[in-house]
Amino acid sequence: MTQLRQDSTEEDPAAEPEEPRSSVDRFFRITRRGSTVGRELRGGITTFVAMSYIVLLNPLILGSSQDVTGASLGNAELTTATALCAGLMTVLMGVVGNAPLAMAAGLGVIPVVAFTVAPEMTWAQAMGLVVLEGLCIVVMAVSGIRERIINAIPLPLKTALTVGIGLYIALVGMVSAGFVSRQPDAAETDVPVQLGPNGHLLGWPLGLFCLTLLLMIVLVARKVPGAILISIVSGTVLSVVTNAVFDVPAEQWGRTTPDLPSSLVATPDFGLFGDIDLFGGFVNAGVLAATVFLFTLVLSGFFDAMGTITSVGNEAGLTNSQGKVQGMGRILLVDGAGAVAGGVTGSSPNTVFLESAAGVAEGARTGLASVVSGALFAATMLFTPLAAVVPAQAAAPALVLVGGMMMAQVRNIPWSDEDFVIPVFLTVAIIPFTYSITNGVGAGLISYCAIKICKGRIRELGWLLSILSLVFALYFGVEGIKAVFGVS
C-alpha cells in the first residue's frame, strides 16, 4: 500500500499545495487536488444516486435470460450480488486508485453475459468465463500493457471519446426518462427515435423530468453547492407525491415507480457467491465459441473502461498535458479486479461507471468520494427497498447535464488537422448511435490508421496502434469469423 501511495507523486499540481489538514486529507490528497471533504462527500453521494439504478437494472437483465439448462437467476440473489460487488470494488477504487470513479456491473457487458454467453453454457460456467476475462485484464494491467495501449492512442481521439461519451450518457438519460423513445416498428418509418412516447411529451413523469432538469440547470448555472444532488432529491420527492396524488400508471414511470416502500430493510441473499466453473464453458460451448466469447468480453471491458477513465479523469482535472490520467496503472488494476469480483459474486463484470462524472461535476476529485459511494452501495444490500424509490425521471437529468458538460471538450479537438477530422467524427457519432464505447473506439482507430497508411505515413502509427486496428477489425468481423468456422 505504501508503494501505491508513493506512485501518486506523479501528480503535477500547478502551484505549491496547501498543508494537509488531517490524515484523511493526506491519504486522499484532498487539499492538493483543490477539493474539500464536503465536496467529496457530496460527490460520492451524487454518484451513488446517479447510478443506483444498476442495483435494479442488472437483476432485470440477467434475470430475464436462461442458461443452457433453462435455469434463471433469482432477483433477490442478483440484487445482493450487484450491491455487494459494487460496494467492495468502488471502495477499493477509492483506497487504491484514489480516483472519483465508482464501479458496478457494466451495462456494456451485462447483455453479452445474459444473452450471448449464458444460453450456451450454465450460469456457473458463464461466471467462470467472466473471472477469466478479469484475470486477462489484470495481467495486462500488471504488465503495463494496458496502460501502454491507452497512452498510444492520440490525444485528439481520447478527447473524442470524452465528447462521444457525453452524447452517449445524455442519450441514455433521455431514453431512461422516456423523453426519447424508439419509434415503433409498426410505424414503417425510417426515423428510429422520437420525442416522448408518441412524438409528444405526455404524462406527469415526463413533466417532472423536464422540471428536474430545468432546476438542475438553473442551480448549476448559479453555482449552488450540491446542485445535482438537491435536484435529484427534489425530483424524487415530487415524483412520490405526484404518483400518490394522481395515481400515475406504472408504465409511464418505466422501470422504477416512486412508491414509498412498505419495509425499509431486506435480508441479503448471497446464494450466487462463489458459484463459478472456470473451464466448463469450453466443454459445453466448444473451445472456439468460448474463446470468441472471452475475446468479446475482454475487448468490451477493456475499451469501455478506457473511455470512461479517460473522460471522467479529464473532467476531474486528473490528466496531464498529454492526456494521461494520474495513477492510471493502479486504476486499471482495480478495474480488472472488478471483472474477477463480478464473476465470483455472480453479478457479471464490474467496471468504472460513466455516472461517476455526476459526482465529479459536484466537486469530487479524490478516492474519498468513491469510498462514500461504495459504502452506500454496501448499505443498499440491507436497504434495497429505498433504492427502488428514485425514478429515472429524477436521476436521469444528471446524465443529461453531465453529458452537456463533457461535450465542452470538443473545443480541444484540432479540427484543422485532416488526419483527425473523420476519425474523431466517427468516434463521437458511433458511440451514442450504437450504444457502445468499444464500437466508437474501434471505428476511430481503424479510420485513423487507414488515413495514415494511405498517406504513406505508417511509421507515425507505431506497432501498437497497428495491432489494435487489426484486433478491432477482428472484433467487428467476429460474426463473419463464426460463420466461416460454422459456430452459431
Distances (CA, A) of 369 to 46, 85, 125, 203, 363: 9, 17, 35, 36, 9
What confidence score (pLDDT) does residue 303 get? Answer: 67
Indicate the pLDDT class of residue 460, thresholds 50, 70 and 90: confident
Q: Cβ-count burial of 429 within 10 angstroms (0-12 exposed, 13-18 middle, 19+ buried)? A: middle
Distances (CA, A) of 483 to 295, 486, 487: 16, 5, 6
Report which of 478, 441, 447 is spatially closest to residue 168, judged by C-alpha positions.
441
Task: Report, as an integer, the average pLDDT of 28-44.
Answer: 92
What confidence score (pLDDT) does residue 412 get? Answer: 87
Task: Report, as an integer, the average pLDDT of 146-156.
Answer: 79
What confidence score (pLDDT) does residue 229 get? Answer: 77
- Please answer whether residues 129 and 290 qualify as being in contact, where contact means their C-beta atoms are separated by less than 8 angstroms: yes
What confidence score (pLDDT) does residue 448 get? Answer: 95
Q: What percent of the chain has pLDDT over 90?
A: 35
Which ranges constitute the DSSP H helices of 249-345?
250-253, 280-284, 287-315, 328-345
The residue length of the chain stands at 488
**Out of 142-146, 279-283, 369-373, which region has the weakest mean confidence (pLDDT)?**
142-146
What confidence score (pLDDT) does residue 19 get? Answer: 62
Give the pLDDT confidence of 409-448 residue by residue, as tens digits: 898 899 999 999 999 999 999 988 887 777 888 899 999 9
Q: Return the top range by mean pLDDT from 35-44, 110-119, 321-330, 394-403.
A: 35-44
**Out of 179-183, 289-293, 305-309, which region has the weakest mean confidence (pLDDT)?**
289-293
Residue partners of 221: CB distance under 8 A and separation at least 6: none
Q: Which residue has the higher pLDDT, 17 or 311?
A: 311
Give the pLDDT confidence of 64-106 residue by residue, as tens digits: 788 999 998 987 889 899 999 999 999 999 999 999 999 999 8
Task: Report, as an integer, the average pLDDT of 319-331.
Answer: 81
Q: Which residue has the higher pLDDT, 108 or 233?
A: 233
Indicate the pLDDT class of residue 262, thresholds 50, 70 and 90: confident
According to DSSP, the residues that pair with 194 across neighbouring strands are 181
Q: Which residue has the higher pLDDT, 159 or 376?
A: 376
What confidence score (pLDDT) does residue 488 get? Answer: 61
In whole angstroms, give the CA distance from residue 203 to residue 209.
10
Q: Which residue has the higher pLDDT, 291 or 125?
A: 125
Give the pLDDT confidence of 383-401 residue by residue, as tens digits: 877 766 888 898 888 888 8
DSSP 54-81: HHHHHHHHHHT---TTS----HHHHHHH
Task: Report, as an integer, the average pLDDT of 201-217.
Answer: 94
Report which of 86, 174, 58, 155 is spatially closest to residue 376, judged by C-alpha positions.
86
Residue 184 grid cell: 415503433
Task: Report, as an integer, the average pLDDT of 247-254.
Answer: 88
Report which of 213, 248, 251 is spatially closest to residue 234, judged by C-alpha positions.
213
Task: Report, as an integer, the average pLDDT of 325-334.
Answer: 87
What confidence score (pLDDT) does residue 65 get? Answer: 83
What confidence score (pLDDT) does residue 387 get? Answer: 63
User: Would the pLDDT of 487 be above 70?
Assistant: no
At what angle are helices 227-246 and 204-221 packed, to 10 degrees? Answer: 160
Task: Report, as an integer, the average pLDDT of 460-465.
Answer: 85
CB count within 10 Å of CB 210 equals 15
Phi, psi of 62 (to 5 degrees): -65, -35
Q: What percent of the chain has pLDDT over 70?
A: 92
Q: Which residue has the higher pLDDT, 171 or 487?
A: 171
User: Would the pLDDT of 42 be above 90?
Assistant: yes
What confidence score (pLDDT) does residue 468 get? Answer: 82
What confidence score (pLDDT) does residue 5 get? Answer: 38
Residue 406, classed as helix, strand or coil, is helix
Residue partners of 134: CB distance under 8 A and separation at least 6: 301, 336, 337, 338, 339, 340, 341, 342, 343, 349
What confidence score (pLDDT) does residue 352 get? Answer: 93
Indicate the pLDDT class of residue 20, thresholds 50, 70 and 90: low
User: Would the pLDDT of 9 be above 60?
Assistant: no
Give the pLDDT confidence of 333-371 residue by residue, as tens digits: 999 899 999 999 999 999 999 889 889 988 899 999 999
User: Would the pLDDT of 4 be above 50?
Assistant: no
CB count within 10 Å of CB 294 equals 18
In whole angstroms, give the CA distance from residue 151 to residue 144.
11
Task: Report, as an integer, the average pLDDT of 186-200.
Answer: 79
User: Would the pLDDT of 450 be above 90?
Assistant: yes
CB count within 10 Å of CB 326 equals 23
In whole angstroms, give the CA distance from residue 170 to residue 176.
10
